[in-house]
C-alpha cells in the first residue's frame, strides 16, 4: 500500500512538473530567483491559435515566442536563454529586453536640457548605450499578469538614475492578441524635465532562434530616409535619402543582398545598424506600418507597426557565436535581426530631430506591434 501511495505521489509530481513546462520547452522554475532582493519570475501569455510568449520581469525580457509556420508548426523565433543565469552572466546583447531610459546611443554620454548639463553612465565607449550600465534591461520590474493575454510591468526609476534627471514612473504592457500580434505599449511620467526613448530589443530569426542566419529574410522598410552615423554609430545629424543605396528597403529585398557592399555606412555598422526615418502621413502620431519581414522557407511573415518616427534596423553584427542560447544553440554573426521602434539616436544633442523631452505633467506614450501571419 505504502509503495502504491509513493508511486502515485511520484507520478503526480512528475505530471505537475511537466505541466509547468512550456511549449517552448522552457522551465519557468529556471527563472524563479531573488535578484537584488526582488522576486524574478517567468510569465506566460497564450492565445487561442496556440501562440505562446514568455516574459521575465528581469529586464522586461521576451524570453520565448512560439509562432506557427505555413504548416502550423510552432517554432521559438526569438533569441534568449532558457534560464535566468544566462541573462545574468552573458555578454550583454540585450536579448528581448525592455530598453530605457534611452534606446540607442547618446554621444559621449552628455546632453544639455534647459541649460543644465547632464552626464550619463558610459557603457559603449565613448558613448552611453541603451540607458547605461544598469538600464531598464537589467532592472527587476513589478509584474501583474491579467488573464492569459496580458502582462503589466511597472518600474520607478529614481531621479538621476544612470545620470538621467527626474523620477520616472514607467509602465509597459505586453499583450498577445487573438490576431497573433505581440503588442507593446509604453507610458511614463516624470517629476523633472528629462529625455526618454523606450523600445524593445527582441532579436528575431523567422527560421527559429539558432537556425542559421537572417540574410535570406526579405525586408521592407517604410522609410525613404535614414540617419547616417559616424564611426562610433552616432548620427551625423544629416538625414539622407535611401534611394540608390544599400539602405533602400522600400521595395522588399533580402537582407543579405547588399550587406557586404563597399559602403562607409555599412563598414561603420559592420552591416546594418541604422535608424530609418519612417514615412508618416499627416497624422504622424498614429500607429502605422513601419516594416515587414518574411521568411520564404517557413512562410512566417511579420509586420511591425508603431507611432514612433524611427526604427533601428540592427542585424546582429555584434553576435559572435560566444552566446550560447536556448537549447544550447550558439548565436552566430547575423543570426537574428532587431527592429526597434524609437525616436532617433542621440536626439538630445540634435534639436533638428523630433523631440525626446518629457516634462512633468505630460504623459509619454509609445506603441510597437509585431503582427504574425504566414504567406
| Binding-residue pattern over the window 96 to 115 for ligand BGC, x denoting contact by CB under 6 A | --------x-----------
Least CB distance from residue 122 to ligand BGC, whole Å?
A: 15
276 is a contact residue toward ligand BGC (CB under 6 A): no
Q: What is the DSSP string of 200-244?
A: E---B-TT-TTSS-STT-EEEE--SEEE-B-TTS-B-S--EE-TT
Give 31 or 94: the residue with its C-beta nearer to ligand BGC. Answer: 94
Report which DSSP code applies to 6. H
226 lies in the site for ligand BGC, by CB under 6 A: no
Residue of 136, 272, 314, 372 that binds ligand BGC (CB under 6 A):
314
312 near ligand BGC, rule: CB under 6 A: yes
**Measured between alpha carbons, how far is 219 from 276 in angstroms, rounded to an integer?**
13
Question: 41 an active-site residue?
Answer: no
CB proximity list for 260: less than 8 A, separation 6 or greater: 266
Nearer to ligand BGC, 66 or 336 (CB): 336
Which of 137-145, 189-197, 296-304, 312-320 is the region at the interface with ligand BGC (rule: CB under 6 A)? Answer: 312-320
Any contact of residue 301 with ligand BGC (CB under 6 A)?
A: no
Smaller CB distance to ligand BGC: residue 118 or 318? 318
Q: Considering beta carbons, is residue 143 or 311 the nearer one to ligand BGC?
A: 311
Q: Rounded CA gap, 238 and 209, in Å?
A: 35
Q: Angle CA(83)–CA(367)–CA(139) in degrees, nearest 5?
A: 35
Q: Which three cell numbers stand for residue 262?
A: 563597399
By the rule CB under 6 A, 185 interacts with ligand BGC: no
Of 94 and 186, the one with the shorter C-beta distance to ligand BGC is: 94
Among the listed residues 230, 183, 163, 215, the one whose alpha carbon sits nearest the alpha carbon of residue 47: 183
| Member of 170, 176, 198, 233 binding ligand BGC (CB under 6 A) | 233
Continuous segment of H or E residues that includes residue 176:
strand 168-176
Could you tell me the CA-to-CA distances from 333 to 219, 319, 329 in Å, in that order?
18, 5, 13
136 binds ligand BGC (CB under 6 A): no
Active-site pick, 201, 207, 217, 343: 201
Is 81 a binding residue for ligand BGC by CB under 6 A? The answer is no
Asked if 331 interacts with ligand BGC (CB under 6 A), we say no
Q: Tally Cβ neighbours within 10 Å of residue 361.
A: 7
Binding of residue 323 to ligand BGC (CB under 6 A):
no
Q: Are 362 and 189 in contact (CB under 8 A)?
A: yes
- At 20, is the secondary structure helix, strand, or coil? helix
Instruction: Determine the Cα–Cα distance for residues 62 and 339; give it in Å rounded to an integer.
Output: 14
**Residue closer to ligand BGC, measured from CB, 93 or 138:** 93
Q: What burial letters (b/e) apply to 273-286, b meaning 16+ CB within 10 Å? A: bbbbbbeeeeeeee
Is position 318 an interface residue for ligand BGC (rule: CB under 6 A)?
A: yes
Residue of the chain from 75, 273, 323, 346 that contacts ligand BGC (CB under 6 A): 273
Q: Which of 162, 207, 340, 343 is an active site residue?
A: 340
Q: Is 201 a catalytic residue?
A: yes
Q: Give the nearest distance from C-beta 103 to ligand BGC in angstroms.
A: 7
- Enzyme catalytic residues: 201, 340
Residues making contact with ligand BGC (CB under 6 A):
93-94, 104, 233, 273, 312, 314, 318, 338, 340
Amino acid at each position: 500500500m505504502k509503495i502504491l501511495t509513493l508511486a502515485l505521489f511520484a507520478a503526480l509530481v512528475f505530471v505537475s512538473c511537466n505541466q509547468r513546462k512550456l511549449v517552448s520547452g522552457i522551465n519557468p522554475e529556471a527563472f524563479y530567483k531573488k535578484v537584488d532582493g526582488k522576486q524574478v519570475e517567468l510569465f506566460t501569455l497564450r492565445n487561442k491559435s496556440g501562440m505562446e510568449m514568455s516574459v521575465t520581469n528581469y529586464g522586461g525580457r521576451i524570453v520565448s515566442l512560439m509562432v506557427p509556420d505555413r504548416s502550423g508548426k510552432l517554432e521559438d523565433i526569438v533569441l534568449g536563454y532558457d534560464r535566468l543565469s544566462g541573462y545574468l552572466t552573458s555578454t550583454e546583447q540585450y536579448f528581448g529586453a525592455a530598453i530605457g531610459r534611452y534606446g540607442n546611443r547618446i554621444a559621449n554620454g552628455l546632453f544639455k536640457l534647459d541649460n543644465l548639463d547632464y552626464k550619463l553612465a558610459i557603457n559603449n565607449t565613448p558613448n552611453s548605450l541603451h540607458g547605461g550600465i544598469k538600464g531598464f534591461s537589467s532592472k527587476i520590474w513589478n509584474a501583474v499578469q491579467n488573464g492569459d493575454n496580458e502582462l503589466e510591468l511597472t518600474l520607478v526609476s529614481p531621479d538621476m538614475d544612470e545620470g538621467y534627471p527626474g523620477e520616472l514612473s514607467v509602465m509597459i504592457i505586453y499583450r498577445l492578441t487573438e490576431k497573433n500580434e505581440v503588442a507593446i505599449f509604453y507610458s511614463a511620467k516624470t517629476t523633472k524635465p528629462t529625455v526618454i526613448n523606450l523600445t524593445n530589443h527582441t532579436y528575431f530569426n523567422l527560421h527559429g532562434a539558432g537556425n542559421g542566419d537572417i540574410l535570406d529574410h526579405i525586408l521592407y522598410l517604410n522609410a525613404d530616409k535614414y540617419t547616417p552615423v559616424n564611426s562610433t554609430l552616432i548620427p551625423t545629424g544629416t538625414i539622407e535619402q535611401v534611394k540608390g543605396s544599400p539602405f533602400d528597403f522600400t521595395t522588399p529585398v533580402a537582407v543579405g543582398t547588399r550587406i557586404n557592399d563597399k559602403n562607409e555606412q555599412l563598414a561603420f555598422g559592420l552591416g546594418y545598424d541604422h535608424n530609418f526615418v519612417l514615412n508618416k502621413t499627416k497624422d504622424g502620431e498614429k500607429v502605422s506600418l513601419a516594416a515587414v519581414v518574411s521568411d520564404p522557407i517557413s512562410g512566417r511573415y511579420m509586420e511591425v507597426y508603431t507611432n514612433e518616427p524611427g526604427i533601428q534596423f540592427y542585424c546582429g553584427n555584434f553576435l559572435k557565436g560566444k552566446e550560447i542560447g536556448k537549447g544550447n544553440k550558439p548565436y552566430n554573426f547575423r543570426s537574428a535581426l532587431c527592429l526597434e521602434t524609437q525616436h532617433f539616436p542621440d536626439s538630445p544633442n540634435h534639436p533638428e530631430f523630433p523631440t525626446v523631452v518629457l516634462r512633468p505633467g505630460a504623459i509619454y506614450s509609445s506603441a510597437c506591434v509585431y503582427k504574425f501571419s504566414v504567406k
